[in-house]
Structure 1
Amino acid sequence: MNRVRVNKHFRPFLEDWEHYFYVVVGGYGSSKSYNTAIKLISKAISEPNRRILVVREVYETIRESCYNLLLEVCSRLGLKEGLHFKKRQSPLQITFFNGSEFIFKGCDNSQKLKSINGVSIIWVEECTEVNYESIKELIGRLRHNVQSNHIIYTSNPVSKNSWLYRHFFIDVNPDNQERLVKLDDRELYEKRIIKRGNAFYHHSVCDDNYFLPSSYIEQLDDMQNYDRDLWRIARRGEFGVNGKKVLPQIKLLKPDVMLCKMEEIKTPLYFNGLDFGFVTSYNALLRMVVDHDNKDLFIYWEYYSKDKTDEEIARDIEEFRQTGELIKADSAEPKAIRYYKQKGFNIKACKKFKGSRNVYTKKVKRFRNIFISTSCPNAIKELCDLSFAVNRDGQLLEDEFNIDAHTLSAIWYGLDNYEVASLKVSKFKVGGVSF
């Protein structure tokens, strides 16, 4: 196996196998996932018959993240497919010739977690996206009676309302509001690595990753100018989204100013999204343009109505049939989509999956600016003050909102095949190796 150069701050984490829980949190680009992959592959090839379970909330996100990352690290370590390991695409699996293996599961089908046996290590990537019921089920699967058992949680520290924060840091007893402190997160930011009981805590930021280009760090620094909550998470790696506003980066523009800014976009990308309604809910159709280079979203036209039949709506939006513009619509309404197709509209169903509300909302939040034309009063009304819902204990519910925002749904659907140039998932190559 080749020796690899690793970030110095991660060496204690890589070498430690004395703890049951590993809580690995930090900002964007800190290399926590990459180093976790190194740690797990090293364990797999040094100890035969290790069965390692890799989990994310949504299964279909695993292939392009954890699975490909593990294969990339295998290559970096000099391990060759066919000689040292073999891979399988369906279901996803990586098996080493000493009997160790990686298996991959999503928590979007928690029943499948109950059939897993023989696991001695679990890696939960983006663990704050996984619901706590699934976490408890995973811990119940971790009971190998010969090999040591470990569970590794990796995440950005997105919210103090997350189960991760309440379980490993500070919780509040809802009966008497007493603070239950396991570890003050401020102590972790100062000490960076803490061993407490059966838990190993590791905190990292982009400065700990000497493979990052300075331009990436400059982009993270710039977040302070337009979204301080995201900057706190991404740049400083600290818990605590204090505000409840979903889209704090919204800016309103008059139609003429909007047009001028849109004309400056070098390569504009156009999208249209439609959310269906009827009696008590609204039909919302938005025209949008994306400035991919600057990560800006422009909402420049809206159609908003309720208590109308498909025939009436088709007349209202006749211009879309004439222009042939593609409309991405709510896949939960196949009959309506078929009707519009028969009428000559260029319309397709969006992709929906369990957890897609949360995934799509996070996508929209990654835009640097969201510009809304003042000619779109309903989008302004719904989106400017859109807030995350809270439960009776005051805890944030990150996939529920204070209102049913039909225009947000229209954005979800319109952009379902587009991905913002996420700082979080960007890769950088040094000597041909991605980080």
Structure 2
Amino acid sequence: MAYLFRQVRIIKVCVALLGTLLLCATATAGISYRLQQTHAVPGETVNVRAVLFNDTDSVMSWTAPGNLVLQWRNESGQTIRSLAYLEGAPAAISIPVNNFIKLSWRAVVPTEAQGLQAVNIEGDATLLALDTSPRENSLIAGTPAAVPVIDAGAAGSGSLSDPPLPDNVVAATGASVEQGPAVNSTRQLASTSSSPAFDRFRNAISAYEPIYFDFGTKNGKNARYQISFKYRLFTPDDPENPEFLDHLYLGYTQTALWDLDSDSYPFVDTSFKPSLFWRKDALWQSPSKNWFVGLASGIQHESNGKSDEDSRSVNYGYIQPELNYRFDGGSTLTFAPRIKGYFGGGDHNPDYRDYAGNVDWQLRYAQDNGLVLTGLYRHGSSGHNMTQIEAAWPLKRTFLNMNGYLHVQYFEGYGETLLGYNQRSDGQVRVGIALVP
């Protein structure tokens, strides 16, 4: 009981400390564009580069559009519209607090684009330029694009006019067929979809715990995999200033150990972990925004779905303060101890706390588009402990040039499966692929 009271006191101290850090900071999110080239002739390809940044206090989800509509204007205000194409397939993007993502679209300079050109992404107020600087408050910036969208480059180098795109192709991008808006309008960070219901679902779901599939050979061929996601229960009316309930999530994680050496390839054990929790990535940020403190708190159930003597289940409530430091070089160090209090334990594992302890000590170092290192340590009573160390490297930065991460996991100690929570596993290294490190 004395140990439990000490844990309660720790939780109270953490809550009190974090309560003093509830300071408001200006939070913004947005996207900025630039042209990679400063000069290009008609028929050549240019690249529109974008930086999507998240300076809010929560992880931001966004889906990059497959096409952008470009507006080209010369000094007399003559307007041309064409399409730019995303490099890579459109996919949901998750941007952590104080992070950014780089994107790129390619476009062909239209045949009729002659002389100095001011270019903008339709609906965005930023002017880009080829061989000139943007001119503010001019016909270029204020004239609607009352022309069709053309298929730039389709006519070939010998033609003086590019054919217009079919109306359905233009409409599929979310643009007007007859006329585009003037430059001086705003662009929302939202993707178009033919299904509003699917859009709401896609914008509410995001990654939670790591997602991976790893393979090992110690004590026979085996695999360990995990899938995980969270679902935001409320959509903020103002994404840059979410209310308290806007940080409420449903979570689900599933972890399994798979025996690949037996004849029928059985699963040794599978853990099902639904949860309900509140999470805010930045309750407080330093003026320079290199330090920020977050908080997660909720309840989680874990069971293995088996019956009789093999049945296992655990329930606990937790509070998880998260201390983050953002390095100037583009990486983040996070210390996030999860302090747990158990309730309603299963009849077949009443001594689970003796093996798993009351605190998950978690440390993470993540480079932007680079190395990700994570460590997890649990310490129970009578020398029962567990160590898990993981490393991930983006496969885009290897000769494979593919999505995902090369993933390496080391595990040693108690609790590799819920069924064998009281059995010690010798150290084992597994290698595989992670979708989310």
How high is the TM-score relative to the length of structure 2?
Answer: 0.22
Q: Which is richer in helix?
A: 1
Greater C-alpha radius of gyration: 2
Higher RCO (CA 8 Å, separation ≥ 6 residues): 1
How high is the TM-score relative to the length of structure 1?
Answer: 0.22
